[in-house]
Structure 1
Amino acid sequence: MAPRFGTSGLRGLVTELTPELVAAHVGAFLRACPQGTGLFIGRDLRPSSPALAQVVAETARRAGVPVTDCGAVPTPALALAAMGAGAGAVMVTGSHIPADRNGLKFYLPTGEITKADEAAILAALDHPMPPAPEPAPLSRDTTAGAAWVRRSVTAFGADALAGLRVGVWSHSAVSRDLMIAALRALGCAAVVELGRSEEFIPVDTEAVPEGARRQIADWIAEHRLDALVSTDGDGDRPLLADAEGRVIPGDLLGQITAAAVGAEVVVTPVSSNSGVEAGGRFRRVIRTRIGSPFVIAGMEAAPGRTVGYEANGGFLLGFEARLAGPLPPLPTRDSLLPILAPLSRARAAGGLAALVGREPDRFTASDRLEEVPAERARALVAGLAAQPEPLAAFLAPLGEVPGPTDLTDGLRVTCASGRILHVRPSGNAPELRLYVEAENPDAAGSLLARGLAVLGQALVKMPPA
């Protein structure tokens, strides 16, 4: 995967993320975007992240920008600390992709960069920052992670999770120790750490493999857990499983959390569960393209008690909510809030499964075909969208008949049965993603498996590039 700059910042193979390339993009960011009081830097637990973070720091200091090194911290914790200090930020992470790849996420003092900022950064690549007369200072901040935890503990209260037995699938998530600390501070009867790894494990909370799902169910049964939680590698996407070992889709976590914080307006991509409209709980629902910059743009256009979330579960809070205590806004993808909000409501509902059962009967599932070149994925989707006949032929083996289509981001078709299939090339990895929605979890799972198989066959039949 050649390095690529876009919605998730800069990403690519570690072998191709050379110091020169990283320095060029950081320099362009510093030239094109405001940094306020300086630049905060964080990183995930990939083997390559410390060295890349050092390149980022040296580039900023040479440009005369003071640097605060926050070390290994979750992305939302870094963003919270930087915004609180009125500073920009760079997070060194490849998120959920494998360890042979990595990347950078860029933040303004006000939060994530926008699509306009992306264009400005790309334009600035040809105009490097002039060096400062002497390097700017370097300081360290070891409090960012604790502040992220404290924000939620203050909001939910020390007994919010009293009596619950919760497992934490730690794997190699940079958020793992902080998740454990938060659960204990919120009164859990037991917090059981599981699956800790010193080697990096890519975990995509939006596409949890069947083997991982079986392991989660086994852990829950073995330790008699009420729930199991985890995140992706950089801690901005949540994973939450109920007492039966079922992983709750991220968009359902978003719906539940939006209601819990008292949102009036919800901004979410076209791939998210349509139950957010069916529930009738929100004054307005705004649909966007996939990617947090599009969600943030939608939130900025609808101020007030506005939240955003994605199908991966990352939740953006655009206003100060009040639960047991105040919950300050954090308009960037966060994993902790959409885990704690459902857990805090589970006891009164009779468990997580019962809480999810109160949501409208629309169920989503998603997965992807990996190692699909972007050009090939885009060509397949364009072919399906071009004329009715190819789409009808694609749906026929699935027993579905096409209905209305939506080309906001990829191809989303609402079938005559009411089921939904959404095919989309990934914006930051060589993957072809499939999102489905159906009337029950089994139907969604079956449709997803069959849909992926048909997509795979279609790719094989395509002529060579």
Structure 2
Amino acid sequence: MAPKFGTSGLRGLVVELTPDLIGAHVAAFLRACPVGTGLFVGRDLRDSSPRIAGDVIAAARGAGVDVTDCGAVPTPALALAAMGAGAAAVMVTGSHIPADRNGLKFYTPGGEITKAHEAAILAALDATAPTGPESALAQADPGPAFVARYVTAFGAQALAGKRVGVWSHSAVGRDLLIDTLQALGADVAEIARSDTFIPVDTEAVPKAVRAFLRDTAAAQGLDTIVSTDGDGDRPLVTDETGQVVPGDVLGQIAAQLLEARTAVTPVSSNTGIDTLGLRVIRTKIGSPFVIAGMERVPGERVVGYEANGGFLLGFEATGPAGPLPALMTRDSHLPIIATLVAAGAGPLSARVAAEPARFTAADRLQEVPTEASAALVAALSTDASAQAGFLAEFGDASLAGTDTTDGLRLTLASGRIIHLRPSGNAPELRFYAEAENPDAALALLAKGLETLRARLG
């Protein structure tokens, strides 16, 4: 699949992300979008990322734009540093997708690019790239300021008494996450650091990984296990039993702790937030759509979050110990810390149980051509008999509602929800399930994937 923009930046196969293609997109970005004081560049730990980051830097310097190379750094730390310097940024990462793919995330000095910016970049691709004297190249480490952000807001004893496992795998922010938790007073145990890139999707955690987390929590007596995806903008959190806490539940808890008044979240997030007294704005899936929704309520105490756990802070908040400035890009640290703080001295499972009894589960079928996924979703959306046959597989053919904001989301008469959506940046068909308890959601997910496999052959 040729590189293209999806729900989170430009993505494609590494072999197709050639220096010419990278250079053309970076040059188009620099022509079409605000740059400010220069360009900050960061990367994740994929084998292909150093080369691609070098291509980004060469293209920007060739266009006469000053570059600050931040090396291997999590996406939110790069964004925070760039915005603080009034600069644009490019993060080289494929996030949670396999290592044979990679991509670019673009930031203006105001934050993550919008869909309008994407359109402007694509429109500028064919223009002749400017050339001039090679610009300056500097280096910076955004890590210490990123850690200090949370210590200032939550205090050096915020997590005192908690034994936290950090599943490091190949996440680029693994060391910063350990540093942050220790700076907040936690007793940290590192788990399973890897020198080989491991794609971790925090929204679709495989059974084998769930079993590994449960076994590790029990064996090491941990209060929680935390981790992130490859570029550190999506969190993974378990309770003391190793049970994964859904990302949208993390978002709900963080929104309440920060006393937000409006929550912007995609249609894939669970419906429990609708009962918590906040104004809720639903969007299509992807942080650009969440950001657009947040920008509709300027001046509000607004937050955004996704079912993958990525959390966006749209106002100047105050933590238990001090100020917490806005950060309009997905962040993994804030929902991890806020959830552990909200749990207090009690078990995290008790805090999660206090949330509305609505739970989501998600996974995807991989290597499914986008055309096949789109055709299936279209048929189930427009053909009543096909839809009825599909729903019969779930033993509940009565519909309470249909939503086509992003894919096909069907609310059953029982209150359970099934949602199909072709991925925007990979050959995958995603399936989301919502039910009244975690086991029911997982069972609904398993049935959905089984049904889709049969239909797609």
Normalising by the smaller structure, the TM-score range is over 0.9
Aligned match for 2:286, one of 286, 291, 294:
291
> Could you say which residue in structure 2 is the equivalent of 1:155?
153
Q: Is the 8 A contact 1:7 1:115 kept in 2?
A: no
**1:404 partner SS:** strand
> Could you say which residue in structure 2 is the equivalent of 1:329?
326
Q: TM-score, normalising length from structure 2?
A: 0.98
2:380 equivalent to 1:384 = yes
**2:264 partner SS:** strand
Moved more, 403-412 or 385-394: 385-394
Q: Residues 167-186 of structure 1: matches in 2 within 5 Å?
A: 167-186=165-184
> Could you say which residue in structure 2 is the equivalent of 1:212?
209
> Could you say which residue in structure 1 is the equivalent of 2:38?
38
Provide the identity percentage.
Answer: 67
Aligned match for 2:314, one of 305, 318, 321:
318
Question: Could you tell me how far apart the structure 1 residues matched to 2:444 and 2:384 are?
Answer: 20
Q: Is the 8 A contact 1:255 1:276 kept in 2?
A: yes
Amino acid at match of 2:145: A
Question: Could you tell me how far apart the structure 2 residues matched to 1:361 and 1:7 are?
Answer: 28
1:154-209 per-residue CA deviation (whole Å, 9 max, x = no partner) reads 10100100100000000000010001001100001x20000100010000000010
> Could you say which residue in structure 2 is the equivalent of 1:463?
none
**Which ranges in structure 1 are unaligned for 5 or more consecutive residues?**
461-465
> Could you say which residue in structure 1 is the equivalent of 2:136?
137
Aligned match for 1:368, one of 359, 364, 367:
364
**2:40 partner SS:** strand
Question: Could you tell me how far apart the structure 2 residues matched to 1:207 and 1:300 are?
Answer: 28
> Could you say which residue in structure 2 is the equivalent of 1:222?
219
**1:398 partner SS:** coil
Question: Could you tell me how far apart the structure 2 residues matched to 1:381 and 1:7 are?
Answer: 18
Q: Is the 8 A contact 1:206 1:249 kept in 2?
A: yes
Question: Could you tell me how far apart the structure 1 residues matched to 2:92 and 2:136 are?
Answer: 20
**Which ranges in structure 2 are unaligned for 5 or more consecutive residues?**
none
**1:399 partner SS:** coil
Question: Could you tell me how far apart the structure 1 residues matched to 2:306 and 2:199 are?
Answer: 19
Amino acid at match of 2:261: E
> Could you say which residue in structure 1 is the equivalent of 2:340?
343
Amino acid at match of 1:426: S
**1:218 partner SS:** helix
CA RMSD, 1 decimal = 0.8
Q: Is the 8 A contact 1:421 1:434 kept in 2?
A: yes
Q: Is the 8 A contact 1:31 1:128 kept in 2?
A: no
Question: Could you tell me how far apart the structure 2 residues matched to 1:84 and 1:279 are?
Answer: 33
Q: Is the 8 A contact 1:2 1:16 kept in 2?
A: yes
**1:333 partner SS:** strand
Q: Residues 364-443 of structure 1: matches in 2 within 5 Å?
A: 364-401=360-397, 402-443=399-440
Question: Could you tell me how far apart the structure 2 residues matched to 1:146 and 1:368 are?
Answer: 36
Question: Could you tell me how far apart the structure 1 residues matched to 2:14 and 2:116 are?
Answer: 27
Q: What's the CA shift for 1:6?
A: 3.4
Amino acid at match of 1:42: G
Q: Residues 255-274 of structure 1: matches in 2 within 5 Å?
A: 255-274=252-271
**2:71 partner SS:** strand
Aligned match for 2:231, one of 228, 234, 238:
234
> Could you say which residue in structure 2 is the equivalent of 1:455?
452
**1:341 partner SS:** helix
Number of aligned positions between the proteins: 454
Q: Is the 8 A contact 2:253 2:342 kept in 1?
A: no
Q: Is the 8 A contact 1:24 1:128 kept in 2?
A: no
Question: Could you tell me how far apart the structure 2 residues matched to 1:213 and 1:153 are?
Answer: 30
Q: Is the 8 A contact 1:30 1:129 kept in 2?
A: no
Q: What's the CA shift for 1:2?
A: 2.1
Q: What's the CA shift for 1:388?
A: 2.1
1:358-383 per-residue CA deviation (whole Å, 9 max, x = no partner) reads 10111111001011111110000000
Q: What's the CA shift for 1:147?
A: 1.1
Q: What's the CA shift for 1:398?
A: 1.2
Question: Could you tell me how far apart the structure 2 residues matched to 1:128 and 1:311 are?
Answer: 40
Q: What's the CA shift for 1:321?
A: 0.6
Q: TM-score, normalising length from structure 1?
A: 0.97
Question: Could you tell me how far apart the structure 2 residues matched to 1:278 and 1:367 are?
Answer: 26
Aligned match for 1:203, one of 200, 203, 227:
200
Question: Could you tell me how far apart the structure 2 residues matched to 1:300 and 1:41 are?
Answer: 26
Which structure 1 residue ranges, 4+ long, deviate > 6 Å from structure 2?
none
Moved more, 385-394 or 197-206: 385-394
Q: Residues 47-196 of structure 1: matches in 2 within 5 Å?
A: 47-132=47-132, 134-142=133-141, 144-188=142-186, 190-196=187-193
Moved more, 10-19 or 332-341: 10-19
Q: Is the 8 A contact 2:7 2:285 kept in 1?
A: no
